[in-house]
Amino acid sequence: MAVKEVYIAVIGAGGVGKAFLSQLESLSTRLSRTPSSPKLSLILLSSSKKVLYTHKYTALSLGNTASSLAQSAQEPLSLPQIIEYLAAAPSKAVLVDNTSSQDVANQYPAFLAKGISIVTPNKKAFSGTFKLWQEIFGAASTSGAKVYHESSVGAGLPVISTLKELVDTGDEVTRIEGVFSGTMSFLFNSFAPTEGSGGKWSAEVKKAKELGYTEPDPRDDLNGLDVARKLTILARLAGLEVASPTSFPVQSLIPKELESVSSGDEFIENLPKFDSQMEETKAAAEKEGKVVRFVGSIDVGKKEVKVGLEKFDRSHPIASLKGSDNIISFYTKRYGTNPLIIQGAGAGGEVTAMGVTGDLIKVLERL
Ligand SMILES: NC(=O)C1=CN([C@@H]2O[C@H](COP(=O)(O)OP(=O)(O)OC[C@H]3O[C@@H](n4cnc5c(N)ncnc54)[C@H](OP(=O)(O)O)[C@@H]3O)[C@@H](O)[C@H]2O)C=CC1
Ligand SMILES: N[C@@H](CC=O)C(=O)O
Ligand code: NA
């Protein structure tokens, strides 16, 4: 690696952001033992309310960064100010976006155009308009800045890198299907288990939030949009020009009566009143000796994408998933009738941060 120092700016210090900061500290210590590796300097850390940064690009201490941020008296910088600050850094800079913000995502082309690389678990940029997708990869190819988003699908599971490799090596992906949400997997595995009776739907939703599996607003999981965003990303990588996550059928599990509540907290508070709706869905599957699961699929040849509930025999691999596990099957010309399958935890701070840190290592290797 020719670059001596790499400047890192982190936006978002929630469940994933905190785990990333701790992995960054370990990575930085490990790299400092190899003289040819660059020094990693954290120069900015921001939440939506506060920021920590130094005007002269002096590295912030990597221990206790999240609590130092909480005590900071500095107001956050605007996105154009952050771009200007990073673009003027005396060496290469990388933005780590650990938010789920569409506003931050919309600025990726501007960061990349200034040579600032990006690593992120945020799905919003890659599942937004197709125009934004083209602008992001266009800006990266013009400036040479790198952009990686492994954790935007299947958290740290190697889903994006696998699909890219299938496509780049000339395989033909015909179908992608499976369970793409850690939250939905956890909810159905505990609410409608293959053995035993399972917990209350609303209580499991509350647990999924406490475990850090849900989006900042859990309605983004329950309305099916989180899975739709992931399928949009995968379909685009497989060669389909999907216009947006709302351009194909997506089943929502939000009770009609709660569609207009004003906050995620109010939604969780009122959800117990509607537990009977999901109980009916569960009972209908049980009558057929099956369990219900939330799945998605992309048929590349037919250009069809769909997201929603399906019933499965109890012995089916999708029915017997555990915890927050995702299972993603790639059917391709090369793999024939036996798909390439990736399975494991698909949500949670540590496993998601692992994908982000892994992406940062890829950027460092390519600067
Ligand atoms: N949790 C998981 O298992 C997985 C998460 N992801 C993705 O990772 C990202 C982070 O998720 P998670 O850590 O769980 O979410 P959290 O809600 O725990 O954290 C989000 C963080 O982003 C900050 N933030 C939000 N908007 C802005 C903004 N405009 N400017 C600066 N900071 C902002 C929040 O600050 P504040 O608190 O001040 O509002 C908070 O620090 C999301 O995109 C999510 O989809 C991907 C895979 C798995
Ligand atoms: N809320 C998402 C987090 C990861 O993308 C999920 O539950 O899968
Ligand atoms: Na992944």
Of 278, 280, 272, nearest to 202 by C-alpha is 272
The binding-site residues of ligand 2, defined as CB within 6 angstroms of any ligand atom, are 155, 181-183, 213-215, 221, 226, 346-347
Q: pLDDT by residue (tens digit) across 20-65?
A: 999 999 999 999 999 899 999 999 999 999 999 988 999 999 988 9
Is residue 348 over pLDDT 80? yes
Taking residue 246's Cβ as centre, other Cβ atoms within 10 Å add up to: 12
CATH number of 5-155+351-366: 3.40.50.720
- Residue boundaries of the structural domains of the chain: 5-155+351-366, 159-346
pLDDT bucket at 179, cuts 50 / 70 / 90: very high
Checking if the pLDDT of 1 tops 70, the result is no
Rounded to the nearest angstrom, the distance between the alpha carbon of 150 and the centre of ligand 3 is 4
- The CATH code for residues 159-346 is 3.30.360.10
Please give the ipTM for the structure prediction: 0.99
* pTM, full prediction: 0.97
Q: What is the mean pLDDT of residues 141-153?
A: 98
Residue 230 is among the residues annotated as catalytic for this protein: yes
Tell whether the model's pLDDT for residue 337 goes beyond 60: yes
* pLDDT per residue as tens digits for the range 250-276: 999 999 999 999 999 999 999 999 999
Residue 49, both tokens: 């309310």
Catalytic residue among 18, 230, 282, 306: 230
Alpha-carbon gap, residue 342 to 163, rounded angstroms: 11
Ligand 3 centroid, distance to 202 Cα (angstroms): 28
Q: DSSP letters along 235-266, please?
A: HHHTT-----TTSS-B---S-GGGTT-S-HHH
Q: What percent of the chain has pLDDT over 70?
A: 100
Strands (E), 74-145: 93-97, 117-119
